[in-house]
Structure formats: C-alpha cells, structure tokens
C-alpha cells in the first residue's frame, strides 16, 4: 500500500501469468500558475480566427432541441 501511495503500479500474476494490474487512484493535484506557464511556454501560438472557424464547423450553434 505504501508503494501505491507513492505512485507505484503493480502487475498481479497467477501462477506466473499476468492477470491484472494494481495502480494508484488518480488524485486531483493542484498545479501552480508558474508550473502551467512553464509547461505551455513552448506551445505554438493560437490563431483565434482559425480556431473559431474550426469550432463553428464541428459544433452547431443552433438553438434547436436535441433529440
């Protein structure tokens, strides 16, 4: 259990054959603004006009009921 608390995963075997995997639960972790900025610093710039066109192409903006 300590290993799971530390993020370790384990393969469960029966007679030497893998039958499952024991993994820690994914917990929500707080990410600081500085960390997020560092992660995305090298990301390409967003072309907002193109993004809007792409979104309009795949997502209907009609106010009709779905069904």
* Number of domains the chain contains: 1
CA angle 53, 57, 60 (to 5 degrees): 115
- pLDDT of 60 over the 90 cut: no
27 within domain boundaries: yes
* Residue pointed to by tokens 């009709």: 64
6 within domain boundaries: yes
pLDDT for position 30: 84
- pLDDT of 62 over the 80 cut: no
Query: 10 CB contacts (<8 Å, ≥6 apart)?
Result: 3, 4, 21, 22, 23
64 within domain boundaries: no
What domain range is 34 assigned to? 2-58
Q: How many CB atoms lie within 10 A of CB 38?
A: 10
DSSP assignments along 1-29, one per residue = -HHHHTT--EEEEETTEEEEEE-------
7 within domain boundaries: yes
26 within domain boundaries: yes
Global confidence as pTM: 0.38
66 within domain boundaries: no
54 within domain boundaries: yes
Residue range 3-56, pLDDT digits in tens: 998 889 999 999 999 999 999 988 777 889 999 999 999 999 999 999 999 998
């Amino acid at each position: 259990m300590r290993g799971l608390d530390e993020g370790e995963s384990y393969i469960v075997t029966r007679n030497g054959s893998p039958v499952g995997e024991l993994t820690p639960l994914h917990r929500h972790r707080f990410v600081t603004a500085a960390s997020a900025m560092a992660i995305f610093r090298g990301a390409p710039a967003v072309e907002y006009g193109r993004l809007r066109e792409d979104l309009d192409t795949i997502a209907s903006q009609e106010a009709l009921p779905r069904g």
